Amino acid sequence: MKPAKLRTAVLGATGYAGCELVRLLLRHPKVETPILLTRETTTAPERLDAHYPALKGDIPLPLEPFSWELLERRGVRLLFLATPHELSRDLAPAALDKSLRIVDLSGAWRLKDSRNRAVYAFADKDKEKAERWDKEAVYGLPELHRRKIAEGRLIANPGCYATSVILGLFPLAKAGLIDRSAGVVCDSKSGVSGAGKKPTSKTHFVEVAGNFSAYSVFGHRHTGEILEQVGLEEEELVFTPHLLPIPRGILSTLHVRLQRQATAEQIQRLYHDAYNGCSFIRIFEPGELPQIQYSLYTNDCDIGFQLAPSGKRLIVVSCLDNLMKGAAGQAVQNMNLLSGFAEDDGLR
């Protein structure tokens, strides 16, 4: 007798990350066809493939009105929240009270330090409960927190920029090799899908095509994630995001001064040791640098570096697909860990 497949639901499937998540779940060998939920009320039934015709096929993809009763009746065990930060902040505690496990793709539960979390200006209805889940939520970066994720109930999927920067810096920070007094400069560029599906004057085709711009300088929401996970202080980090005129993909260029002189072979060994056994980290040979095109439509994070002749200055380049390793792919990776599946199930 075959084991029962995992029953999941996705709230927010009509967004770019939500749709990518559904696409991955539909091909996952150990997951039932997910229940697709919407907070919108319409007079006529909706289907996800009406929003994304590329999903048309033999499997019906109805969008059903969200209700706790529906989740209970359909036997859902894991709920993905691909929702705005404020909505995830409101729904997750209620879902946890109903013994559901949560993988939240928003920024609602990523930050432990209230000073970093202040950028979201959350107005919690039950501050005591929210504070408790702030402490218990697990930052869902498997390469750093695999064991905690497997034992968790509320998994906070990391931000896309933050994933690229943290994975690029973590081996150096772990080894105490970063000269923090010199500061770390993170120069990151993302495709337009990272801004979400709702159009704005800044993401309109006319504004983006043939253009390149910086935004949210000294104020981006992913800054706190980098500080907390890498172990830096605010004054030790300069993180500047940029908008590329492409649909998807992230390239982060990380400028680091080293505490002590190192060789390229030592740096290479450091990264291989830190990510030994990690299915989705690809370390390039010294001097070979990743490009966005190499990791598109995969759950891989590509990392390469160039060491200065002095052996004291290092440039690290980290690339990933913001809708995959930066969002939906990483969410499936976290679901696999929560459920005892192979970490790369449904992702290769």
The CB-side HSE value for 48 (13 A sphere, CA atoms) comes to: 31
Query: Does the active-site annotation cover 160?
Result: yes
DSSP calls for 249-296: -EEEEEEEEBSS---HHHHHHHHHHHTTT-TTEEEPPTT----HHHHT
Q: How far apart are CA 189 and CA 245, in angstroms?
A: 10
Q: H or E stretch including 118?
A: none
In angstroms, the Cα distances linking 266 to 167, 231, 261 are 18, 22, 10
Q: How far is CA 230 from CA 49, 144, 172, in A?
A: 40, 10, 9
How far apart are alpha carbons 345 and 155 in whole angstroms?
18
Cα–Cα distances in Å, from 175 out to 105, 234, 271, 325?
A: 30, 20, 10, 24
Q: Counting Cβ atoms within 10 Å, is residue 83 exposed (0-12), middle (13-18) or buried (19+)?
A: buried
Catalytic residue among 19, 160, 301, 319: 160
- Known catalytic residues? 160
